[in-house]
Amino acid sequence: MSAPGTNPRSRTEILLLIACCGFFLFYGLGAFGLVGADEPRYAQVAREMMSRNDWVTPTLNGKPWMEKPPLYYWQAMVSYRVARALGAGNDGVNDRSARFPGALDATVMVAAIYFFLRRFRPGSELDGALITASCAGVIGFAHAVSTDMALTATFAIALLAWFAFYERRRNVDLAIFYVFLGLGLLAKGPVAPALAAVIILLFALFKRDWGILFQTLWLPGIALFLAVALPWYIVVQMRNPEFFRVFILEHNLARFSTNVYHHPQPFWFYLPVFLLALIPWTLWLIAAVVERVRQIRREGGGAFGSPDDSWALFLLVWMVVPVLFFSLSQSKLPGYILPAVPAAALLVTEYLAARRELATSEREGRISLLMAALHGILCGLLVFAALCAASIALTHHLRLGKGTYVAAAVAAVFAFCIAAALVTRAGPRLLRPVTMIAVVVSVAAVIRLAAPVIDATQSSRPIAEIIQDFSRDPVPVALYHVGRTRQYGLDFYLNRPTETYENGGIPAGAHVVVAAQGTQAQVAELVPGRRVSYLTNIPAQKLELYWVK
């Protein structure tokens, strides 16, 4: 008899999981430059910490930058050094190495889900891992420089460890829970232990099991949590007295209770965001939730009496708490509710496993024509959106034309074939494979077709490349009527701070100006007596470059 984990089926599953994670989470990490304000800022903070060999104080342009804890920065510093050792540029800093930590965090989370399910829900481990890895939210944030994936991975592993403790009462599981909760505190701050506490409290309340709360408050585990998270918080506060005010009061409490950072959204904002993050599994999540709600209404307090139902209850609470918590926040960004996505993926896994069991003996377990058609349409829409992503990125709307019609035809074929496969007797077994095909095609289309357009229109990378082609020496760069996202991006790609004309930042010597199209005369008025020469334009971003001497 083969030892656990060494039988041919397990080896095949692990190889399949490695291949899917490699493609979904790592493919195209450097296909387009860093976009938005956060990606280049976080990547630059990690670079500055690495250049100073400082593992404590995050800095941006040489000044302390206390908005986020250090876990992503630490991971990126290691990633940069590994990339440098492998010969990736002088310092190893590039788009791929900056995004690598997010992809690695997502992979570790998927692996943890696989091994957890293999131990506690055998038979569903491959489904659970691949469903999680193929969710749009996981794939998207695995390709981003962000603290959200680090939080999601550490938080998910912590909660899986806690539920393992709930089922078998082993302190080793509780130790893992506290270690990863400490890493969650280093990933994004007190939100990790706060959400975990609420989830466990509500679960105990629904189960009427107050003893589990006292057993969770295990002193050696709490000591582990403090040993993991507290040293950095103490040292950074000692070196930077403003840390508590900036990080705790402004970027946690004020961000939650006020709109000080200008990210207002309606209360219901996270409902569509969450459903989009679960694509292509959204419809199955809705079906799973509806089924569980019906069960609760039918059976009342006895709905979660069995161990399997305890797992479903735990996943429901885990999924709902982050969504409701951040819906109450006055500042809303899509990544905030990413920690709820693994719970939703596992809830879908549990639901599909139950249906497959029914399908082996009853017609009830087979996929209905309506559900097959709707899932096929959703997968078709995913393929269509991926094929049209380049056009949408360029024009900011869907343009009708030959390419759009071809994309619609391809999507229709996918929708029909997937729906046809699902209504067969083998439909429940085919659901994951046929959905994976749609996800593979969609990821490939986005990376191959849309990434170059995103790079040309949204990233500062092509601007920096033009400046570096103009002069290999690090000439000063100033901006005029250019948004802060381009400024942060240029600061990263040029590895030096840029000036802004609007704030009086006009370099005394010769310099390049990145400006909005048609503003050469305005720039000349701001530098009287100096010559302003036109260099080139960047039509994809409606920018022009001037040389001021």
According to DSSP H, which parts of 169-239 are helical?
Answer: 171-188, 191-207, 211-216, 219-239
Q: What integer pLDDT is reported at residue 361 of this predicted model?
A: 53
Of all residues in the chain, the percent with pLDDT exceeding 90 is: 77
The residues, ordered by sequence, that sit 6+ positions from 245 with a Cβ below 8 Å of its Cβ are none
Per the model's pLDDT, the better-predicted residue between 503 and 75 turns out to be 75
Domain boundaries, the chain: 8-260+273-359, 366-458, 461-548
CB atoms within 10 A of CB 173: 18
364 exposure class (CB count in 10 Å sphere: 0-12, 13-18, 19+): exposed
pLDDT of residue 267: 77
- CA-based nearest residue to 160, from 126, 114, 205: 114
Burial of 448 (0-12, 13-18, 19+ CB in 10 A): middle
From CA 91, how far away is CA 84, in angstroms rounded? 5
Under 8 Å between Cβ of 151 and 372: no
> pLDDT-based confidence at 2, cuts 50/70/90?
very low
End-to-end CA distance of the chain: 79
Average pLDDT (180-199) is 96
> Average pLDDT of 148-161?
98
Query: Which range (90-94, 317-321, 345-349, 510-514) has the least confidence?
Result: 90-94
Whether residue 280 has a cis bond before it, omega within 30° of 0: yes
Where do we find the tokens 């995103």? Answer: 454
d(CA 81, CA 143): 19
DSSP label of 400 = P
- Total-model pTM: 0.93
Q: Would you state the pLDDT for residue 5?
A: 46
Spatial neighbors of 41 by CB under 8 A, at least 6 apart, are 60, 65, 488, 492
Q: What is the pLDDT of residue 1?
A: 32
- Arithmetic mean of pLDDT, 182-195: 96
Reduced to 3 states, what is the DSSP secondary structure of residue 546?
strand
When pLDDT is cut at 50, 70 and 90, the band that residue 3 belongs to is very low
Average pLDDT, the chain: 91
Tell me: pLDDT of 261 over 60. no
Per-residue pLDDT at 6 exceeds 70: no
d(CA 294, CA 288): 10
Range of lowest pLDDT (72-86, 233-247, 287-301): 287-301
pLDDT tens digits, residue range 264-291? 678 788 999 999 999 999 999 999 999 8
Is the pLDDT assigned to residue 263 strictly greater than 80?
no
What share of the chain in percent tops pLDDT 70? 93
**Given this model, what pLDDT does residue 354 score?**
85
Q: At what angle do helices 8-21 and 125-133 cross, to 10 degrees?
A: 10
CA-angle at 316, arms to 313 and 322, nearest 5°: 135
pLDDT in tens, 361-419: 555 668 899 999 999 999 999 999 999 999 988 887 788 888 899 999 999 999 999 99
Q: Which pLDDT value is given to residue 287?
A: 95
What does the alpha-carbon distance between residue 407 and residue 380 come to, in Å, rounded to a whole number?
10
Measured distance CA(42)–CA(23) in Å, rounded: 24
Q: Is 15 exposed, middle or buried (0-12, 13-18, 19+ CB in 10 A)?
A: exposed
Report the largest interatomic distance among the alpha carbons of the chain, rounded to a whole angstrom.
Answer: 87
Dist CA 547 CA 510 (whole Å): 7
pLDDT at residue 275, rounded to an integer: 96
3-class secondary structure, 89: coil
Of residues 398 and 169, the one with the higher pLDDT is: 169
Q: Give exposure, 253-266, as e/b (b: 16+ Cβ within 10 Å).
A: eebeeeeeeeeebe
Stretch 142-167: mean pLDDT = 97
The answer for residues whose C-beta is within 8 angstroms of residue 214's C-beta and 6 or more apart is none
State the Cα–Cα distance between residues 59 and 45, nearest whole angstrom: 5
Mean pLDDT of 143-164: 97
What's the pLDDT score for residue 540?
A: 92
Give yes or no for residue 301 having a pLDDT over 60.
Answer: no
The pLDDT of residue 359: 61
153 pLDDT above the threshold of 60: yes
CA distance 113 to 18: 13
Residue whose pair of structure tokens reads 């292509």 in the numeric block: 280
Judge contact between 295 and 228, C-beta under 8 A: no
